């Protein structure tokens, strides 16, 4: 975006650059994704201590999801090295397939799992005493001339998904 190769982009989290403006689109939260065959799928929440016993399949180290999870771990005096991370991947779809097939559990954004949850492919479980929320924003250059059109498009989109 800085060199005007892209007009707008959707980003979870924030960009601290005064050259950009944004429109909030939605909020999302992270939770544990677990196969229906995994015993933890029978619970509403899981403790960090219990999570340490599970095989974790995580997003890559620089992904927003991973960074948010690790920052929340630090507030609870845990480090990612305390956990049994068996695999790190960039591709969320592959992670969801591995979770569904019970190769391990993951920490994923709820919004990225809507389809799987509707089809009951796996469950999402909260982590006790940990709320990992983030805002999803539409970013654009401050000099972008079609801001009103973006707002109209977002309004139409919101009407469609809420019906």
Closest C-alpha to 69, from 29, 15, 16, 11? 29
pTM above 0.75, yes or no: yes
d(CA 75, CA 61): 18
Q: Which domains does the chain have, with CATH numbers?
A: 8-25+136-162 (no CATH), 27-134 (3.40.190.290)
What string of pLDDT tens digits covers the 163 residues of the chain? 677 788 899 888 788 889 999 998 889 999 999 999 999 999 999 999 999 999 999 999 999 999 999 999 999 999 999 999 999 999 999 999 999 999 999 999 999 999 999 999 999 999 999 999 999 889 999 999 999 999 998 888 878 767 6
Name 45's bridge partners: 126
E-assigned strand segments in the chain: 8-12, 20-35, 45-46, 55-59, 84-89, 106-109, 122-127, 132-141
- Record the tokens describing residue 77, joined without a space: 């005096």
């Amino acid at each position: 975006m800085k060199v005007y190769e892209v007009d707008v982009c959707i980003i979870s989290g924030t960009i601290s650059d005064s050259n950009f403006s944004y429109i909030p689109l939605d909020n999302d939260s992270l939770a544990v994704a677990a196969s229906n065959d995994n015993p933890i799928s029978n619970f509403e929440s899981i403790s960090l201590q219990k999570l340490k016993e599970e095989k974790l399949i995580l997003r890559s180290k620089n992904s927003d999801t991973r960074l948010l999870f690790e920052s929340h771990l630090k507030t609870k005096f845990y480090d990612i090295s305390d956990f049994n991370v068996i695999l790190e991947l960039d591709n969320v779809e592959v992670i969801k397939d591995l979770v569904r097939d019970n190769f391990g559990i993951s920490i994923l954004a709820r919004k990225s799992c809507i389809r799987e949850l509707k089809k009951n492919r796996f469950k999402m479980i909260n982590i006790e005493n940990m709320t990992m929320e983030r805002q999803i924003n539409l970013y654009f250059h401050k000099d972008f001339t079609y801001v009103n059109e973006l707002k109209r498009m977002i309004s139409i989109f919101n009407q469609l998904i809420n019906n």
